[in-house]
Structure 1
C-alpha cells in the first residue's frame, strides 16, 4: 500500500484574518484542559494503536501540563515512522508516529477493479455507509470521511461517490460534517465539493474545513479533511490549510 497523507500543524496568524465572532476569545490563556477521565481515555485510544503504556503516560502528562503533542503541531514530514496495521476483516490503518510518540491516523479505499485489489467497507479514514457494484462501476453512499488525533479530536463528513472503471471517478454529494474535541471551540466550519469529477490531470475532491481554537500554547489550528478520489481509489487526507 502506498503511504498516505495526514498532517497537523499550528497556524497562529489566522486569528487576525477571521471575524471577531468566528472564534473564541484569545484571552483564554489556560488552553486545552482534559479531565482525568479524558486523559485515561486518550491513553486507552493510543494503546489501541500499539503505543506503549509508558509513551501514552508521557503524552497524557504533556497534555496535563498544557503542552501540545507533536502530532498536533508538526507537519507529516516530521513523522519519524509509518506503518500499516492490518485487521482480520481486511481493513487497514495507516499510522504516522512523531518524535514524542504521538500519532495521527488516515486511510484509503480501493475500488474492486483497482489493480485486481480487494474492496473493504470498513477502513480507518473511510468507513460506514454502503457500496454496491455494477458493470464497470462501484457507487458508495453516505460514506464517513475522517481523520483523528486519538482521544483528542476527530473531524468528519459524509459523501456519495462513484468509481468508474476506465473512466473518471466522481463525487456527487458531501455534507453532514462534524467535529469532536475534548475542549476548545470551532470557527467557520465549511463543507463543499472542490472538484466533482476527476480529470486527466486532477482528482475529484470534497473538503470539510474549520478553525479549531484550543487556547494557550495550542493557539488556533487550521484543519481540513479531504476526500481525494481518482484512479479508482479514495483517500482520506488531513490538511493544514482551509
Structure 2
C-alpha cells in the first residue's frame, strides 16, 4: 500500500508512527483478502454439489471459529452417500449431519484393448489391457476433498481379476487449501500388492494450518477386489 504525505513538517517520532501504520493495515488487508478468497472458493466448491449457499456460509463460519466440520472428522459416518460419474472421474459424495460434504474420486479412463492404439495427451490418464484379466491404469488422479482441503496424487495401478491388484508407480502428490495453507502430502506405500491381508494401499499425509485451526489429514488410495478407491482417516 502506497501512502502519500502532504507535509514535511513532521517530527521524527510522528513520522515513524505514520510509516508504521500502512504496514499494519497492509498485513491486515492481506489476511482479510486471503480469508475472503478462501470463503469464495469454499462456497463455489459446495455449489458444485448442490449445497445451499446458506448452509455453506454456516459451515464456513463454524470452521473459522475453530471447529472441524463433520466431513473432516475421523469416525463420523455420513447420513447419505452417492456415487456418480463426472467426465472421467468416478466420485463418491458423502453428506454429513451438519450439512458438510466430502468427495472421494478416482480418474477412470477409456481402456485400450490389447493390440489397440489410441492418441492420448502426454501425461494423461490412460488404460491398457494386456489380457482379458489384466488392465493397467497409467498416471490417473486419485484425491479426497472437503472444500477446505484437497489432497491427492497421480498413480499407476494394475487391476488383476481375482487377487493380485497392485500399485505400480506414482508421481508427485498435490494439495489445495482454502483459508489456510497445507504442506505437500508425503507418500508411502505400506503394501504394494493385494494379498490375503488386504488391498494394496498408499498413504498420503499433509498438515493444514490457518489462523483459526490446524489439523493433520491422512488419505488412503487402495487397490483391491478388482477396484481402486480412496478413503480418509485422521482428519483431526
**Fold-level similarity (TM above 0.5):** yes
Residue 39 (structure 2) aligns with: 39
Residue 232 (structure 1) aligns with: 226
Q: Deviations over 1:125-164 (max 9, x none)?
A: xxx62111121211111111210012x2111112111111
Give the helix-richer structure, 1 or 2.
Answer: 2
**Which of 191, 196, 201 is equivalent to 1:195?**
191
**Which of 93, 97, 108 is equivalent to 2:91?**
93
Q: Which structure is larger by alpha-carbon Rg, 1 or 2?
A: 2
Residue 58 (structure 1) aligns with: 58
TM-score by length of 1: 0.67
TM-score by length of 2: 0.68
Alignment of 1:62-211 (within 5 A): 62-65=62-65, 67-72=67-72, 74-87=73-86, 89=87, 92-107=90-105, 129-135=125-131, 136-150=133-147, 152-186=148-182, 189-211=185-207
- Number of corresponding residues: 193
CA, structure 1 residues 111+205, in 2 after alignment: closer, same or farther (shift >3 Å)? farther
Structure 1 residues not aligned, in runs of 5+: 1-30, 113-127
CA, structure 1 residues 164+110, in 2 after alignment: closer, same or farther (shift >3 Å)? farther
Q: Which has the higher contact order (CA 8 A, sep 6+)?
A: 1
Q: Deviations over 1:13-33 (max 9, x none)?
A: xxxxxxxxxxxxxxxxxx998
The Cα of 1:180 is off from its aligned counterpart by 1.3
The Cα of 1:224 is off from its aligned counterpart by 1.7
Q: RMSD across aligned C-alpha pairs, in angstroms?
A: 3.3
Q: Distance in 1 between matches of 2:195 and 2:152?
A: 25
Secondary structure of the structure 1 residue equivalent to 2:172:
strand
